[in-house]
Amino acid sequence: MAAQERTSSDFTVEIKQTLGGESITRCYQCGTCASSCPVAKMTDRYNPREVIRLALLGQRENVLGSDTIWLCASCYQCQERCPQEVEIADVIYALRNIAIREGKVPKIYAEFAATLTRDGRLVSMSKFLEKKRIEYGLPPLKPTGVEAIRKILSATGFDKLPISGMKGEST
């Protein structure tokens, strides 16, 4: 096998070496997570058992390149119930973090990241929103202290990610 080829175990090792992904190989595909998952009840586009199965099969591009891993609501119900103590929600975070490093992020999250970097908010204030706040009797929003936020983003390396709005490839 050529040195640069990846095997399914390459992806498994990559996940296990990523914070949160350590427990993935304990999965024996019982499906308890899927039957506990409120998102899986709402849509057949998301099933945590399938995500883990695909990951263990080395389906790297399928797992990281689709928006499926972004549908998890991080409720941890699956993690509470898994008989194998797979930290499923944390595995999903690990997969997201691998995807983020490669700029594979749904457009909406890339936009949130860019707005956070630029304005210190996830969503920009618009004239429309300002007007609505007045209508509802809400006070004007205070400045965000964007310089402090940028310092945090820089210290954590967030601003170097390809989703920070500066280099911006996204799915």
- Interface with ligand SF4 includes 28 (CB under 6 A)? yes
Could you give the residue ranges of the DSSP H alpha helices within the chain? 8-16, 32-36, 38-42, 48-56, 60-65, 77-81, 88-101, 107-119, 127-135, 146-155
Is residue 79 within 8 A of residue 38, CB to CB? The reply is: no
Q: Give me the count of residues in the chain.
A: 171
- Interface with ligand SF4 includes 56 (CB under 6 A)? no
Among 89, 95, 105, 161, binds ligand SF4 (CB under 6 A): 89
Q: What residues between 68 and 87 interact with ligand SF4 by CB under 6 A? A: 72-78, 82, 84, 86
- Interface with ligand SF4 includes 88 (CB under 6 A)? yes
Stretch that binds ligand SF4, among 31-39, 61-69, 108-116, 148-156 (CB under 6 A): 31-39
Residues that bind ligand SF4 in the complex, under the rule CB under 6 A: 27-33, 36-39, 48-49, 52, 72-78, 82, 84, 86, 88-89
